[in-house]
Amino acid sequence: MAKFLHPSLDDICLTEILSALSDPVRIRILKTMLDAQGCCSCTQAAPCPKIAKSTLSNHFRILREAGLIKTTKVGVENRSVVREQEINQKFPGLLKTILKFAD
């Protein structure tokens, strides 16, 4: 059974956040999740159907390990939310500023 490791606020670092957001697929995923105003399954937040699901899974892992999203298993799905408030607490304005210029 997969256990999701979410870093604590203290362990979230700028470099990993930028690294996670430096991929167009992942920034699109994050934007989709924020627009959805709540939880998203991996497939819902996927930017295109072409992408291999193992690759998609990996992108979610990177977002999770960077501390950008929180994932919980609900039935057969993994539902994720952006850890918006926590990120804003540690890096005020960062997410908003970056995502403003995405796409």
Partner DNA sequence: TATTGTAGTACAGAATTATTGAACTATTGA
Partner DNA sequence: TCAATAGTTCAATAATTCTGTACTACAATA
Point out which residues bind DNA (CB under 7 A).
Answer: 1-2, 19, 23, 25, 41-44, 51-62, 71, 73, 75-78
b/e sequence 2-34, b meaning 16+ C-beta within 10 Å: eeeebeeeeebeeebbeebbeeeebbbbbbebb
Q: What is the contact mask toward a second copy in residues 24 to 53, using x (rule: CB under 8 A)?
A: x--x--------------------------
Question: Which tokens sit at 101?
Answer: 């210029």
3-state SS, residue 2 = coil
Binding partner of 33, given DNA, a second copy, none, CB within 5-8 angstroms per partner class: none
CB of 68 to a second copy, least distance (A): 13
